[in-house]
Amino acid sequence: MSKTNLLNFLAKPSTLASKLDWKKASGTVLAMDVGSDRIGLAIASHPNYGDSPLALDPMPIKLETRTGNRKALAESTIQELKKIVKNYNVCGFVVSWPLQKEGRCGAPCGKVLHTLDSLVEESSDIVNSKRPFCLWDDHHYHPSEDEWGRTPQYGETTNKTVHRASVEQYAHKCSSSVAVDVWKDYCKKHWPVLYEQEEDIWQVNGLSDSTEEESNVAAMTC
């Protein structure tokens, strides 16, 4: 399928939130953090229930060669995602959108689109019109250009003698803990009152952001 087909399944974040409101009794959302070689995953129910998001084991991105030497997601990866969608009754996806600090799309964003495009092309049972996805930047980076197209980030003084763009500007550390954080930020935006109540429960249960990060990043960072 082409990028046009992928965009047919792209929903506004508010639309996906409304969908979960409608299906909160039985549906869940799968938060995804797509990296270069794996996908961080977290299952989340409607915040009305006060359940903490469940971080799943990161899923390795396995590729297979198709006709015309085209690389696509392997059948094993597709089947594993299908199993998760079915077992948790997933009704939509919140996908981390890793913008650069100046608010522009870089290589990590391209990787996200490429992975989603391959997912849609290889199977219609995961992302589709009834189970859409939205893109969510939990850092809330926005373009800050002036009328001449300049941005302050490029004018900052540095003491570095060597700049590795692939590492410093375009690198993205993927993990299931990031997927959890993406969901929490999405939840905070769309259900602010419920989020505050849910956050209190997380803190009582020892599930604050710092605790989760310490316990999950080492095992899940790719």
Instruction: Tell whether 153 is covered by a domain.
Output: no
Q: Which residues contact 60 (CB under 8 A, 6 or more apart)?
A: 37, 38, 77
Residue 170 has pLDDT above 60, yes or no: no
Instruction: Tell whether 206 is covered by a domain.
Output: yes
**Using CA atoms in the order 18, 46, 56, 133, what is the torsion angle rounded to 10 degrees?**
0
CA 165/CA 207 separation, integer angstroms: 35
Over residues 3-29, mean pLDDT: 91
Lowest mean pLDDT among 6-10, 82-86, 141-145, 193-197: 141-145
Query: What angle, rounded to 10 degrees, do the helices at 176-190 and 209-220 form?
Result: 150
Q: What is the pLDDT of residue 172?
A: 59
Instruction: Tell whether 79 is covered by a domain.
Output: yes
Tell me if residue 178 falls in helix, strand or coil: helix
Residue 72 has pLDDT above 60, yes or no: yes
CA 179/CA 212 separation, integer angstroms: 12
Most confident of the ranges 67-76, 149-158, 200-209: 67-76
Q: What is the pLDDT of residue 25?
A: 92
Check if the beta carbon of residue 147 is closer than 8 Å to that of residue 83: no
Q: Scanning the structure block, which residue is given the tokens 């992928």?
A: 6
Between 88 and 143, whose confidence is greater? Answer: 88
Instruction: Tell whether 14 is covered by a domain.
Output: yes
Check if the beta carbon of residue 132 is closer than 8 Å to that of residue 16: yes
Kind and range of the H or E element at 212? helix 209-220
Indicate which CATH number applies to the domain containing 55: 3.30.420.140
CA 102/CA 156 separation, integer angstroms: 12
Q: What is the pLDDT of residue 75?
A: 94
Check if the beta carbon of residue 91 is closer than 8 Å to that of residue 113: no
Instruction: Tell whether 60 is covered by a domain.
Output: yes
**Backbone Cα Rg of the chain:** 18
Most confident of the ranges 104-113, 152-161, 166-175: 104-113
pLDDT band at 70 (very low <50, low <70, confident <90, very high): confident
Instruction: Tell whether 125 is covered by a domain.
Output: yes
**Residue 36: how many other CB atoms lie within 10 Å:** 15
Q: What is the pLDDT of residue 211?
A: 39
Residue 143 has pLDDT above 80, yes or no: no
pLDDT band at 157 (very low <50, low <70, confident <90, very high): low
Q: What is the pLDDT of residue 162?
A: 59
Q: What is the pLDDT of residue 217?
A: 37
Q: What is the pLDDT of residue 105?
A: 86
Between 160 and 47, whose confidence is greater? Answer: 47
Structural tokens at position 54: 């469940």
Over residues 131-138, mean pLDDT: 94
Over residues 15-27, mean pLDDT: 95
Instruction: Tell whether 149 is covered by a domain.
Output: no
Its domain, for residue 17, covers 3-142+163-210
Domain count across the chain: 1
**Residue 129: how many other CB atoms lie within 10 Å:** 9
Instruction: Tell whether 89 is covered by a domain.
Output: yes
pTM for the model: 0.77
